[in-house]
Amino acid sequence: MAEIGLVGVGVMGAAFALNLVEKGHRVSLLDRTQDKIDDVAATARAQGLSGEVVACVAPKDFVASLRTPRSILVLVPAGGPLDVVIDSLTPHLDKGDLIADLGNSNFRDTEARVSAFEAQGFQFLGIGVSGGEEGARSGPSIMAGGSRNSWAQVKDTLSDAAAKYEDVPCCDWFGPGGAGHFIKTLHNGIEYADMQLIAEVYGIMRDGLGMTAADIAPVFERWNTGPLESYLVEIAGEVAGAVDSVSGGSMLDMIVDKAGQKGTGRWSVIEALHLGSPVGMIAAAVEARNISAARGARFRMEASFGPAPQWLEGSAEDRAPVIDTLEQALIAAKINAYIQGLEVLDRASAEFGWDLDLAAVARVWRAGCIIRAGFLNEIAQVIDSGGSANLAMDGGFGQKLVETLPALRVVVATSVSAGLSTPALFAALNFHDQRRTSLGTANMIQGLRDYFGAHGFERYDSKGEVAHGPWGEQ
């Protein structure tokens, strides 16, 4: 009998199946396309992997091939395709059997599925998996939600397959219901912000400093050896330095500047709004992708208003201090992106009763996932030591912000003056400036609301009481 089953042998499913087989597991596979299963089995044999693939042609045979209580991993698109798989499997399951959804499902759908399954005597896990095809094959970051008992059934197998950070699996259970999928959603939201920040500093170097992609590649490579060390900065250098085999020029220059999205960034913003938690950087990244899709409108606007001018025309030596300033600005913005994401998780934990361990979340993100970065180990240590999601109040991160915020301010101000679009960098600065201001301007908002709607407000000299202004007496 197979130890575990896997449904959906697409790019991610095939890679994850080979990962499990390489770790010595006997894995049953089910897919609509038999050739995909055969390819995985052939690859496993060719690579001499120590486990075994069991090919199945029908849901009934697939379920029967698994030892009980059965554990089934599903890697298919969220929504309808997932429902089809679940409906095909449940008639053949026994009480105590488990289905784990490893796709990018909305956490609210996962909450409903967990409740429905448990009511029938089955088990259901919602598991966020990050790392793309490479991570699925060599070790992803894994974030689980559901019951503790359900997690215990697959913990060892998934820990085998997960990425390792200093031999510690980047794999953990975080709470009931949709906790795992919510954490994956916010992981992706931070990923959106991080990529947008990288794109903006690339744009400043290209359009503000007149640098080519080949000039920019070593900048990212150098940054990756310092405080910005991360997977995304690392691959930004590789993307900028890649040569197109067709044109012979820069690969990056041949890529149409039009970005799509699969929903998790948008969900991050929506859920944060419900929770009353600011995520301006993620929202800016989502909006930037939406604007990028409207290429025709952008061409017409540039024809009417003209392109943004370069900041600086000169030698590499002239650019060097500007590039150093960009590095410091990116550090400040990146810290604020983590603050926004962690604070959403903290509020969700309180709202949904998940009791999330934010240090454990940071540890799971240290390897395997897309936002893995040197910062994350430090974040875990800060929270383990009693720090909060607001990293700005930690001595170490607070000092980093003190040192790097002036650079962020210069970059944003210069970009705005030159007409270069930097929405996520601007959002990072605005987020920090609003939060460091003890006397804001919401008193005017409250006065206006009371004037037109008699909503009332709180007075400084009578806290807790609802007061109204004199305008109603006029």
Cis amide linkage into residue 69, ω under 30° from 0: yes
Cα(239)–Cα(20) distance, integer angstroms: 30
Question: Which tokens sit at 73?
Answer: 């991993």
Which among 184, 234, 327, 334 is annotated as catalytic?
184
Cα(435)–Cα(21) distance, integer angstroms: 50
Q: What is the dihedral of CA 251, 253, 254, 259, to 10 degrees?
A: 100
Tell me which H or E stretch contains 46: helix 34-46
DSSP 6-42: EE--SHHHHHHHHHHHHTT-EEEEE-S-HHHHHHHHH
Cα(187)–Cα(135) distance, integer angstroms: 15
Instruction: Cite the beta strand spans of 369-414 per DSSP E.
Output: none
CB atoms within 10 A of CB 218: 12
CA-CA distances (angstroms) from residue 35 to 43, 54, 57? 12, 13, 11
Which among 191, 234, 271, 327 is annotated as catalytic?
191
Tell me which H or E stretch contains 295: helix 295-305
Tell me which H or E stretch contains 63: helix 59-64
Hey, what amino acid is at 278?
P
Query: What are the strands of the beta sheet with 171-175, ordered from one edge?
Result: 52-55, 26-30, 4-7, 71-74, 98-101, 123-130, 141-145, 171-175
Cα(65)–Cα(25) distance, integer angstroms: 14
Cα(275)–Cα(271) distance, integer angstroms: 6
Q: 66 phi and psi, to 5 degrees?
A: -100, 145
| Active site (annotated) includes residue 473 | no
| Active site (annotated) includes residue 191 | yes
Cα(378)–Cα(60) distance, integer angstroms: 48
Say if strands 98-101 and 71-74 run parallel, antiparallel, or are unpaired. parallel
Q: 144 phi and psi, to 5 degrees?
A: -105, 145
Contact (CB, 8 A) for 370 and 193: no
Say if strands 462-467 and 52-55 run parallel, antiparallel, or are unpaired. unpaired
CA angle 242, 247, 253 (to 5 degrees): 55
CA angle 357, 358, 363 (to 5 degrees): 100
Give the residue numbers marked as catalytic. Answer: 184, 191
